[in-house]
Each structure stands twice: as C-alpha cells, then as structure tokens.
Structure 1
Amino acid sequence: MSREEKKQELAARAAWMYYVAGVTQQEIARALGLSRQVAQRLVSSAREMGMVSVKIDHPVTHCLHLAREIQDKFGLTLCRVVPSANLDEDAIQQMLAVEGAAVMSQYINDEQPQVFGIGSGKTLRSMIDALPWVERPQHQCVSMIGAIARDDSGTRYDVPLKMAEKMQGKYFFIPAPLYADTPEDKAMWIQHQVYQRVTLRALQADVAFVGIGEVQPGCPLHAEGFITDTQVAALNARGVVGEMLGHFFNQQGERVLGETDELLTSVLLESRTQRQIIGFAGSERKYPAIRAALQGGWVSGLVTDEDTALRLLQE
C-alpha cells in the first residue's frame, strides 16, 4: 500500500469515527495513536477528498478484507464490516446503524416489488432511523415477530411499520404476542387466518433483516419481561448464548428447545438456511451470539464490526 493510500485509509477511518460515531478529535487521536493536530488534519482531508457526504464514500480497506474473509469462512452471500478498533459499544452501534441502512437501501432502491421480512430490536430500529425517505410504494414490510407486548400494548420492538413509512410501502404485522400465555393460547393465535397469511408472506420474503440477540441477565428479552430470571439461568445452563426472533441456540449454533417454544409465535427459522436472511449485530457483548449464529448457519449475510470480525477469524 502506497503512502497516499495509507493516508486515505487513516482519513476514512477518522471520518467514520468523527461523523458517524460522534467521537471527538482528541479521542480519535488516542484511538489511532496520533497527535490531536494530525487527527484534525485527517478529518479535514477526508472532507476535502470528497469522502464525506451523507455517507462515507471511502471504505476502510482492512474492513473490506475482513468482510471477504468472513464471507468465505462462513459461506455467506453478503458481509459488511464497520471500523470499531478501540471504540465503545455506543459508537459501534452508530456505525452499524449507518452501514445497515446502506445495505437495506440496496434492496429498497430496487424498482421491482420486494417483500422484506423484518425482525426486532434496538439495532434494527437504529438502522431504520438512519434510512433515507424514498418513494417505493410497491414494496412490502412484514413483521416476523408478534406485535403485541406483555401489557397488551403495541411492542416497541415492532419496527417494520417505521420502515414501511420510510418508503411509503405496505405493512403487515403478526396479530399475536411474542409469547402466548399458554400453549392453548398459542394454538388459538396461530390458527387465525390473518396470522397464517402474514407468516406465510414473511416466509416467502425476498430478504429478511433480523437482529442477533445475546441471552444473559439483562438482555432485551429478559429486561422487557418476556423471559424470567429462572428461564435465563436455565437457558444458560443448557449452553444457550444467542437468539433470533425468540429462537434460542447454543454456542455451537444448535437449536435449543424449551418451555418458551410452546408459547413462541414468531415466524419459523431454520439452521443452514437457504433463505436470504441478513443478521445485524456487533460489540463484544454480542460476540458469542454472533459466532453461534454463524456456526449454525442461521444467517446468510452479516453486518458487524471490525473487532468482532477479527475474533471470528482468529478462532
């Protein structure tokens, strides 16, 4: 790599940190091992070289190489890696939001009608917030999890409506709670014709966008009251490290069935999937779940961060 290319690499990395993650120039200098003056010049030069507009047009080559290696190692059809060296979790989430929105936009910009299956979670919600407004009324957004929360309100993890609004498309939701109260209650929900039509539409989606969740005390499912302290402990005792749409899997990526499966109303997922399912997740906290999702073949594509990618490749 030439001296000029190295300068562009550093400028691109600094631009990601400054414009996307909101990191100060002093923090950029500390993270990259540079003086504050050099960090300031890098940010300015990134803007002058035309890298910075509403997105960062120059990717970090190291991250591109990592993405290709992850794609090859795990047999993915798509992988994107955002810079994350020495950054905290909030900064990484902001990076993922921008890159995730860019990946989604590639599909949304298609003129042909598309059906998007949409999962849940904070990461997906932040990505949809970062999406630009476009006029694509021909597209459809279909929820892959129940739209009713524990207290009978509309769950704030039901993000497909927001995505449908961004592109002025149709929105289809699952008229059921994520977890039914009893197995008999679940049977009632899933026998409803609307439920069956919506879940069939989600199963036949052109592409699905899902979050990959960790399973530990304080994780979203636990914090929101969907699973109890006892259930979290029992799941961890059985080796569970991650979940997608409420489907639990262990560190080898093997599905772990339990009492919650008798109540779960989410759209069916399967390992070694042939469906186009793109997972979005990053940070050290989520690493075991991301690794397990890849080991089990629960996703066909992944958007993650640099440190996570390095760990995945080193193992």
Structure 2
Amino acid sequence: MQGSHLDIATGLGSAGASYLETTLTGGERVGISSWSQTLLAAVDRMHPFRLPGAESVIQLVGGLGDPSAQTQGNRLLTEMARLVGATPMFVPAPGLVGKKSIRDSLLSDPAMESVAAAWSRLTMALVGIGSLPPSPLLRASGNAVDPAEQDKLLAAGAVGDVCQRYFDATGTLVHSDLDDRVVGIDAETLRRIPRRIGIAGGESKHAAIHAALTGAWVNVLLTDTGTAEALVR
C-alpha cells in the first residue's frame, strides 16, 4: 500500500476493516481512540456482524472540542459498536484539561469511575499512532497540546503518542505535566491490554510508529508498504 496520504488512509481503512471482521469473534472488550481519521476509515468500511463480535466498545480518551470533530469521534465509537453488536461506552469529559486537580475531579465522578474500571478489563485496544505536530482531527477535538507544550515535548525527545501518552524514539514514556492532565487511559493500563492494534502509516509517522513498536505501545501493526519497508531497514 503506497501513494498519497489519502490513498494510504483509504488503504489502511480497508485493511483495518478486514482485520476486525476476521478477528473479532465475540466476548471482546474493545478500547478505541476515537480521534483518528484512519480508524474512522476502517469503521466506515466494516460490514455488520451477523453475531456479536464484541461485548463492549469503550472510548480511551475524552474530547470536547470542535462540533464537527466531536461528531466524527462519536460516530466512530457508536458505529463500531452498532456493527459488532456491542454496547458503547463514552468518556463524558474533555481529553485534556488545564490542571491536575480538574482531571482528578473528573476521574472521581461516578460516570468516569465506571469508564476507568472498564479500561482495566479491556482485551483489545484499537489505536492510532500520533506524531508531532498533531493531526487536524486531534487539534479540532480539543485534545492537541499547544505550540509551547509541543516545543517542550520535542525538547524532551518526544516523537509520537498513543492516546495522548507521548514517547521518545526508544518508546520510553516522556514524562511531563501533560500526564496529569489527560482524561484517558494511563500508559500502564494501556500496555497491559493483551492485544494492542495500531493502524497508522505514511512517511511523516515512520519515527512514531517505530517507537510505538519498540516501546510495546502496540503489538499488532496495520500499515502501508513504504512504512513496513522503512521499519525493517
């Protein structure tokens, strides 16, 4: 799978749909990062399951931003749950807040406590792999870090993120105050999920994808030919 950014996203969407249709066999508890154009492309290409393919589909990171982005994020989660016959579970909060105290207050809300408990029981995660600077959809979601914070992350060696958890070229978590401001699954819980599927590609993401694999942020990768060749060089 090679070509333009749009070609790659379309191809990855088809590959993601095929993978999910052939590997979801019922009983799975699926976490999904809902701010990814590639994941949305995958769900848009899925066919309805005749039998339930999963028990639940759970949002991994909150997000309350631009209405169009919010609509896309909600549609991704809702549509996947409908197609596989699962119950959807949303994060009823923004994905990134201004202070740790705000994050802690949100996480102590009963609705958020039930989501956090569900994260610890996930059997599978379906995630995009982000690079710096963030994608347009992530920026519109309200979850993107501002330019000053991006500069700090870059200075600390960050090359990418999964679910707003930033890592360096070795896949090691880059610690910053952002960790305490994200309303979403934490790094340790994420990396305990048995099957962690990353769907990402394109030259701009080579470093981030390599690091995500090296750091075990994902253990299954769906990508394009050019990226695969770059990874094995």
Scaled to the shorter chain, the TM-score interval is 0.7 to 0.9
Distance 1:182 1:150 in 2: 21
Distance 1:127 1:218 in 2: 17
Contact 1:98-1:127 within 8 A present in 2 as well: yes
Distance 1:134 1:187 in 2: 38
Distance 2:121 2:187 in 1: 12
- Does 2:163 align with 1:248? no
What is residue 47 of structure 1 aligned with on the other side? Answer: none
Contact 1:253-1:292 within 8 A present in 2 as well: yes
**TM-score, normalisation: structure 2:** 0.88
Say which structure, 1 or 2, has more relative contact order (CA 8 Å, 6+ apart).
Answer: 2
What is residue 121 of structure 2 aligned with on the other side? Answer: 204
Alignment of 1:277-296 (within 5 A): 277-296=196-215
Aligned amino acid, residue 235 of structure 1: L
Give the aligned CA root-mean-square deviation in angstroms: 2.2
Contact 1:122-1:157 within 8 A present in 2 as well: no
Distance 1:201 1:290 in 2: 27
What is residue 127 of structure 1 aligned with on the other side? Answer: 42
User: Secondary structure in 2 aligned to 1:179?
Assistant: coil
Q: CA deviation at 1:238?
A: 1.4
1:223–1:150 Cα change, 3 Å: closer
Contact 2:8-2:224 within 8 A present in 1 as well: yes
Q: CA deviation at 1:204?
A: 1.3
Q: CA deviation at 1:169?
A: 2.3
**TM-score, normalisation: structure 1:** 0.66
Distance 2:217 2:108 in 1: 26
Contact 2:70-2:141 within 8 A present in 1 as well: no
User: Secondary structure in 2 aligned to 1:145?
Assistant: coil
Distance 2:134 2:107 in 1: 29
- Does 2:17 align with 1:98? no
Percent sequence identity over aligned pairs:
26
Q: CA deviation at 1:296?
A: 0.8
Structure 1 counterpart of 2:155, from 226, 237, 247: 237
Distance 2:58 2:141 in 1: 22
Contact 2:16-2:199 within 8 A present in 1 as well: yes
Distance 2:147 2:137 in 1: 12
Distance 2:135 2:30 in 1: 29
What is residue 140 of structure 1 aligned with on the other side? Answer: 56
Higher-Rg member (1/2):
1
Structure 1 gaps, min length 5:
1-82
User: Secondary structure in 1 aligned to 2:12?
Assistant: helix
User: Secondary structure in 2 aligned to 1:176?
Assistant: coil
What is residue 226 of structure 2 aligned with on the other side? Answer: 307
